[in-house]
C-alpha cells in the first residue's frame, strides 16, 4: 500500500439537468488534474435524489458514463459518484468507478430509502464492490447503506487471504440536513469499528423538492478523527491517507481477531 490522495467534491447539484451537472462538476474537478488519486462526487450527481428522474435515466452507453471515463483519463485519477442508470427493465442507483486507464466498475445501491419510496421505484443491488487503488482495497457504498453495519462489516481473510476486506470505506450521498447528526455519528462509528479510513461526500444546497443539505463531507482516519471536513456550501479539497499509520493502528489494536464470523445474503 502507498499513501492515497483522496479529493472530496461537495457540489450543489442542479435539479434534473444532467448536462448542466456534467459541466458544473467538470469545472469543479478540473484543477485536480495530477493532484489526486481518487475524486469523489455525490450520489445522483447528474439529477439530485429524485424518483421523478426515472423517466430520463441513461444507460451504460449514455453521455454520463462517457463523461466520467473521460474525466478519469483527463485527471489521471479514479472518479466515482452515483447516477440513475437503466439496465434492462430496471433503474439502479448505480455508483460508477472509472479509472484513468479506461476501466469501469459499478456498485448498485443495496439499501433503498423507503421513507422516500426509493424501494418502489428503483431496483436494488445485492453485492458489495471492492476495488484496488495503489494497494488499498476500497469499498464504495451509497447513502442509506451507511445505516446497515452488518452489510458494511470489515472482515479479515475472507475476500482476500491475509487482508482485510477493505482499507478505505467510501460513501456518496444526498443526506438531508435534518438528519446530519446521524450522518456524522454513523460515519465515525463505521471507521472505528471497521479499523478503516472513511471518505464520505454529501451534496450541498437545496433540491427541487425543497430539501436542504448541510454538506458535512468528511475524510476520517481509523480513529474516526477528521483529516478533512466541510460544512455547508460548495467545497473541493484533498487529503492524504497514510498507509503506514493504518497498518500500525491495526497492529497495535487488532480488534478484528475477536470479531464474530457471519455471512451476508
- Give the residue numbers annotated as catalytic, written as ranges: 43, 109, 143
DSSP summary character for residue 19: H
C-alpha distance from residue 215 to each of 94, 149, 156, 259 (Å): 21, 22, 32, 33
> 55-90: buried (b, 16+ CB within 10 Å) or exposed (e) per residue?
eebbeeeeebbebbbebbebbebbbbbbbbbbeeee
Helices 18-29 and 63-75, packing angle to 10 deg: 10
Q: Which residue reads 483527463 in cell numbers?
A: 74
Q: Which residue reads 497514510 in cell numbers?
A: 242
Amino acid at each position: 500500500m502507498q499513501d492515497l490522495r483522496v479529493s472530496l467534491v461537495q457540489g450543489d447539484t442542479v435539479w434534473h439537468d444532467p448536462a448542466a451537472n456534467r459541466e458544473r462538476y467538470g469545472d469543479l474537478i478540473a484543477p485536480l488534474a495530477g493532484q489526486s488519486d481518487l475524486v469523489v462526487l455525490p450520489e445522483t450527481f447528474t439529477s439530485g435524489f429524485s424518483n421523478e428522474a426515472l423517466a430520463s435515466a441513461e444507460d451504460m452507453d449514455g453521455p454520463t458514463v462517457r463523461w466520467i471515463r473521460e474525466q478519469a483519463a483527463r485527471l489521471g485519477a479514479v472518479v466515482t459518484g452515483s447516477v440513475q442508470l437503466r439496465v434492462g427493465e430496471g433503474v439502479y442507483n448505480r455508483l460508477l468507478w472509472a479509472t484513468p486507464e479506461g476501466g469501469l466498475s459499478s456498485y448498485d445501491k443495496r439499501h433503498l430509502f423507503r421513507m422516500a419510496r426509493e424501494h418502489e421505484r428503483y431496483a436494488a443491488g445485492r453485492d458489495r464492490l471492492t476495488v484496488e487503488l495503489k494497494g488499498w482495497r476500497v469499498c464504495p457504498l451509497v447513502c442509506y447503506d451507511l445505516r446497515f453495519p452488518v452489510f458494511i462489516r470489515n472482515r479479515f481473510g475472507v475476500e482476500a487471504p491475509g487482508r482485510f476486506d477493505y482499507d478505505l470505506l467510501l460513501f456518496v450521498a444526498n443526506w438531508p440536513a435534518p438528519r446530519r447528526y446521524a450522518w456524522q455519528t454513523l460515519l465515525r462509528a463505521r471507521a472505528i469499528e471497521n479499523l478503516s479510513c472513511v471518505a464520505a461526500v454529501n451534496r450541498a444546497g437545496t433540491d427541487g423538492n425543497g430539501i436542504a443539505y448541510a454538506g458535512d463531507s468528511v475524510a476520517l482516519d481509523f480513529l474516526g478523527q477528521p483529516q478533512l471536513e466541510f460544512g455547508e456550501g460548495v467545497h473541493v479539497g484533498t487529503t492524504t491517507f497514510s498507509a503506514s499509520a493504518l497498518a500500525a493502528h491495526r497492529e497495535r489494536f487488532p480488534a478484528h481477531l475477536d470479531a464474530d464470523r457471519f455471512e451476508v445474503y
